Structure 1
């Protein structure tokens, strides 16, 4: 029989940080509000949510790494919004943010939910920040809580159980 690990997503007694960006604040604010509401709904206490703001998406990895290395949080939600312009700047910023955050997870073992919107237009960003296509900040917060549970279950396994 196949053993399946799919723990319940609960934030009770968990500490979660949200690192968001000041750039495109009119979009990111909605992502952050959605993430905070979701964390609370999933049982994370107000005083167990840490909210940090960095200037832009390019700066997310260093703040996320510093937080992960403290050991003070069980997961991190990285939020931002990069909108394509007329130059290749978009690709550099979005790509480095994603690579940097992925590197933090691989190096520290702390789950980081990547909720950085990468859109072609402002309208697409608005749609993903709480209108037609849901709130990607809320989705990222759910992923963070689910990964805490999944990693805890994996850490608790013994070789004879696998």
Structure 2
């Protein structure tokens, strides 16, 4: 099996292989798992302890199939991805559906395959008993307990 190329520590880390038009292009992503923070940016979930992972996907892969592929790679359900715009590296793009995914692929093609990183954002809304991860269940439980403790403390002071 072909090994992914070694990347230096540049901040941009998607390598796009655009062979002749008779073959399907292969996107190679350098991905890191991130937790949602309900803003435009994301925070690393496990900090530097979680290594970058390489994910290869044909450019014909749908967004939903790509999220499933990422979920299998990381072991967590992925809801969206956050990446740097290949045409403007200061702009962050949230890729959340097929239209965003198609737009990103078009931007990559127009830019000639510049390299950039993506963060895989956990899907904390997955159905219980379905694809919802143990981590997402733990986070939901901790939030519930924190709210209950806050209500208990406020009730005691009233």
Q: Same fold (TM over 0.5)?
A: no
Between Structure 1 and Structure 2, which shows a larger proportion of helix residues?
Answer: 1
Find the structure with the greater CA-based Rg: 2
Of structures 1 and 2, the one with the larger relative CO (CA 8 A, separation 6+) is: 1
Q: TM-score scaled to structure 1, two decimals?
A: 0.31
Q: TM-score scaled to structure 2, two decimals?
A: 0.31
